[in-house]
Amino acid sequence: MRVVADVKCYYCGHVSGQVVGEQSDRLRLFKFLPRPGYGGGEPAPGQRIRCERCSGPTYLEDLSPYEVAPQPHHGPRQRTRRARPSAA
């Protein structure tokens, strides 16, 4: 199941953005979604997310299910055939 959580600072309580991930034994993060006006850098893979305001450590709060918009399914593509000219 996909989940979303706020990235909140231990020191000042500032919310820098949200993370989207897969809930399992350990949360696997897929994407960091910065808040509007975010001034911090984009975290590199394996790097810890720090608070953009005070550079303090962060934690995940308000974990909730994340609905993924379904992709439209058009089914298999049908080949269109041109009509042969009649032999008359």
Q: What is the pLDDT of residues 39-77, one digit of tens each?
A: 887 888 778 889 999 999 999 998 888 776 655 555 444
Q: Structure pTM?
A: 0.68
The pLDDT assigned to 83 comes to: 60
- Expressed as residue numbers, the domain containing 47 is 2-65
SS3 20: strand
Q: Tell whether 34 is covered by a domain.
A: yes
Position 78 in a domain:
no
For residues 2 and 66, the answer to whether their CB atoms sit within 8 Å is: yes
Q: Kindly state whether residue 79 falls inside one of the protein's structural domains.
A: no
pLDDT at residue 32 is higher than 80: yes
CA distance from start to end of the chain: 63
Distances in whole angstroms, Cα of residue 28 to Cα of each of 5, 51, 79: 12, 20, 41
- Does 34 or 27 have the greater pLDDT score? 34
Q: Structural domain tally of the chain?
A: 1
| The two structure tokens encoding residue 10 | 């231990």
Name the pLDDT band for 22 (thresholds 50, 70, 90). Answer: confident
